[in-house]
Structure 1
Amino acid sequence: MSHNTSSPASSAPAAPGSSGASAGPDAPSVRKTMSKRKRSQISRWIQYAILIVVAAFVVIQADWATLAETFLNLEVAAGMFPEVITVALKNTILFTLLGFALGLVLAIVLALMRLSSVGPYRWLAIIYIEFFRGLPALVVFLVMGFGLPVAFPGLGLNKLVVIMVALGLVASAYMAETIRAGIQAVPQGQVEAARSLGMSSSRAMVTVVLPQAFRIILPPLTNELILLTKDSSLAYILGSSVAGRELAALARAEIVNTASLTPFIVIALCYLAITIPLSYLSRLLEKKFGSVGRPA
């Protein structure tokens, strides 16, 4: 006769507090995890705390009296007026606009050459663009200001012309790629429709493609104007008369005369007075027309 060896106790359920197979994988977890939003809030507050500590350290450790005397000398700043506006700021704007106008004309020609089916045109455009995009603007100014008079002593180039050409060469290499991208962004159907109406390739490019391309590239062209405004400060290395000084040249002269760095603050505010409205205009144009972006 067989005997059942199992006892009633062995089949009884385990006690609530006992460990074992009763706490299986399907049992609900009692541990609550922190939500993603809560972790983000804690991370943000830690960042704020770090910023406050850094700011407090700067405020406590900085020598504010020396800083004010060196960079915020109101007498030195007042002595720069009205020349900083009537001469330096005016010349900076003039140099920038002349360089931008020349660069834009060159850039249109280079962009069309870059897209040409004629091989030598494409090669020349690529060489020009890569050459001037690879050179620092300072080198271009030095070559234009001191190299050309030595190579061509009979030209007698005016200082304004040298600055305009130097800025135009630098700007045209970047703007050419921007214009090329804008032309390629115009749908091909626009060109085909113009050709079907009997337009020549050149007329279709001028009357149909370029106007649409410029609507696309207005924001990056505005950014290029901002960059060119800052590049115009390199004109000081060429030297100039008092009437021909731009902002950087005037600041350099005032620093030598006053032994104060306050002129740097004054011209920085002047540059911001030009670039901040242009940056705002660029954002408005980008919202309205879009942007192809500045080529790297």
Structure 2
Amino acid sequence: MSEQSTMTGPPVGPSGASSGGAGLSPRQRRNISRGVQYAVFVVLAALVVSWADWAAIREHFLDMKVAENLFPEIFTIALKNTVIYTVSGYVLGFFLGLVVALMRLSSAAPNRWIALVYIEVFRGLPAVLVFILLGLAVPTAFPGIRFPFDEYGVVAIALGLVSAAYMAETIRAGLQAVPRGQMEAARSLGMSYSRAMITVVIPQALRIVIPPLTNELILLFKDSSLVFAIGVTSATSELTKFGQDIATEYADSTPLLLAGATYLLITIPLSIVVRRLEARQAKAR
């Protein structure tokens, strides 16, 4: 009797699927799934294009005669004010958030309680309500209080108070991510706790949380549109208020579309920076 064994059925390939074509390899299934997704996307895009009223879109959203009235003020006034509001609020929020984060990690219980209350209050309140309270309620309740730089000061403080609550938790997470050995090594070299925290721990923590802090800058850039709540003038209006005023004047939505596109000129590059920072950190790890 021959020792060669007999096999029944079609031969099996290295992937485990039958070479007779009855089964599909994982790569083939992925390709089919991807092709179906592309086909669905193309069909949906074609439906949107075919259903859209392009004449109405050109009339109400792409009116070049109305768009001409936005320049150059959309850059020299609206965008400039938006950047000023965002940067000033972010700087204030960053330093206040750093202080609150350190208070959250303090060994003194009152410091932790104050920081926790601050974070919960300003994360829980809508940002527009903070604007209204600072711009309208505080001057009414305390007539002697005047904010520096008028509307610019109010917006910077309002954005700073709100963003600090979020950045405090981000920075706290970064501080806790720094290995304890860093602080112990610094103290063993004779550094005080404060000096070790400032020169050793905080710089490492900030490098860790750069991507989320940059995301906060993007969110703050958009939150600057809430300046309408305190009633700014035409000279201190930001992009959304500027576009809304022109849109109301001409009964056309083209200014709002251009204001949105101007936001994207800032937010898209920032988003690209965030992704590259995240990728660099992931590669470093």
2:134 equivalent to 1:153: no
TM-score by length of 1: 0.85
Q: Cα–Cα, structure 1 residues 167 and 290, in superposed 2: closer, same or farther, change >3 Å? A: farther
TM-score by length of 2: 0.89
Aligned-partner Cα distance in 1 for 2:44–2:156: 44
- Tell me whether 277-286 or 260-269 shows the greater mean CA deviation: 277-286
Q: Is the 8 A contact 1:183 1:210 kept in 2?
A: yes
Aligned-partner Cα distance in 1 for 2:263–2:278: 22
Pick the aligned partner of 1:49 from 27, 32, 39: 39
2:157 equivalent to 1:176: no
Q: Deviation of residue 285 (structure 1)? A: 2.3
2:60 equivalent to 1:79: no
How many equivalent residue pairs?
266
2:278 equivalent to 1:286: yes
The letter for the 2-side match of 1:199 is M
Q: Cα–Cα, structure 1 residues 51 and 31, in superposed 2: closer, same or farther, change >3 Å? A: closer
Q: 3-state SS of the aligned residue for 2:209?
A: helix
Q: Is the 8 A contact 1:215 1:289 kept in 2?
A: no
Q: Deviation of residue 289 (structure 1)? A: 3.8
Q: Deviation of residue 253 (structure 1)? A: 0.7
Aligned-partner Cα distance in 2 for 1:202–1:285: 29
Q: 3-state SS of the aligned residue for 1:243?
A: coil
Aligned to 1:6: none
Unaligned runs of 5+ in 1: 1-25, 292-296
Aligned to 1:247: 239
Aligned to 1:275: 267
Aligned-partner Cα distance in 2 for 1:60–1:206: 60
2:226 equivalent to 1:265: no
Structure 1 residues 103-152: Cα deviation after superposition (integer angstroms, max 9, x where no partner): 01110110000000111111111111112112221221122222212221
State the Cα RMSD in Å: 1.7
Q: Deviation of residue 27 (structure 1)? A: 5.2
Aligned-partner Cα distance in 2 for 1:144–1:278: 29
Aligned to 2:114: 124
Aligned to 1:37: 27
Structure whose CA Rg is larger:
1
Pick the aligned partner of 1:63 from 53, 64, 67: 53
2:118 equivalent to 1:137: no
Q: Cα–Cα, structure 1 residues 136 and 57, in superposed 2: closer, same or farther, change >3 Å? A: same
Aligned-partner Cα distance in 2 for 1:245–1:122: 38
Q: Is the 8 A contact 1:219 1:290 kept in 2?
A: no
